[in-house]
Copies of this chain bind each other. A is one copy, B any other.
């Protein structure tokens, strides 16, 4: 079967995101250094984020609320309120940050638009993701933009149903095996992993059981080659 529809992830696939979170995390570690070392603070923050995920979801506001909990907890309540005010300011910086496309995105999308129906499927703060799509200058490349609360099989099934897409002709490409690739393969689709050197720990996935249905792209510019590989497999 021919692969007709290519869906792309946003954060860390089309544009930088984790880089900005990493800068903020460094500021958090600096802030709490009077009370705990970097490793302990990182571990505490990750544990708070993990606990809060079901109720706060993904995105900057969720992250910053978890940071605020963390700095108060690891400082045993000693962190001055003025520093917490700064942390809220970091949320605004993250949300207002200019969109920086990953290398090769604009040219590669132009090329792919000739061969595939393109969708954008991204998760996080609704307003922030809409704003990033608008500021990216890429919106016109996509047949549809889907901003979702989580990227699980139920979410992908709903999107495929809505657009009348057979999973067997559907490829999802992104930097997170856990969110962008594994659930799509589970539904009978195809995935391209476009690795990025930073991956949030809660997105970790060992890739087990996915090999036949997944190709790895060498950066965004490597996407067409990875898709050709999958298309050849899909045709047999």
On A, residues with C-beta under 8 Å from B are 52, 55-58, 61-62, 64-65, 68-69, 71-73, 75, 77-82, 84-85, 88, 91-92, 95-96, 125-128, 130, 147-150
Give chain B nearest CB distance to A157 CB in angstroms.
15
> Which of B58, B71, B75, B80 is close to A77, meaning CB atoms less than 8 Å apart?
B80
Closest 10 pairs between A and B when the two form their complex, measured CB to CB: A57-B127, A61-B61, A127-B149, A77-B82, A72-B85, A126-B126, A126-B149, A72-B81, A77-B81, A79-B81
Cα of A64 to Cα of B128 in the assembled complex, Å: 17
Query: With A55-B92, A125-B57 as given contacts, are A72 and B65 in contact (CB-CB < 8 Å)?
Result: no
Whether A68 contacts B88 by the Cβ 8 Å rule is yes
Cα of A35 to Cα of B143 in the assembled complex, Å: 53
In the assembly, how many copies of this chain are there?
2
Give chain B nearest CB distance to A54 CB in angstroms.
9
Whether B57 contacts A85 by the Cβ 8 Å rule is no
> Which of B62, B96, B149, B150 is close to A61, meaning CB atoms less than 8 Å apart?
B62
For A52, the chain B residues whose CB sits under 8 A away are: 92
Whether B55 contacts A95 by the Cβ 8 Å rule is yes
Give chain B nearest CB distance to A75 CB in angstroms.
7
> Which of B65, B148, B150 is close to A65, meaning CB atoms less than 8 Å apart?
B65
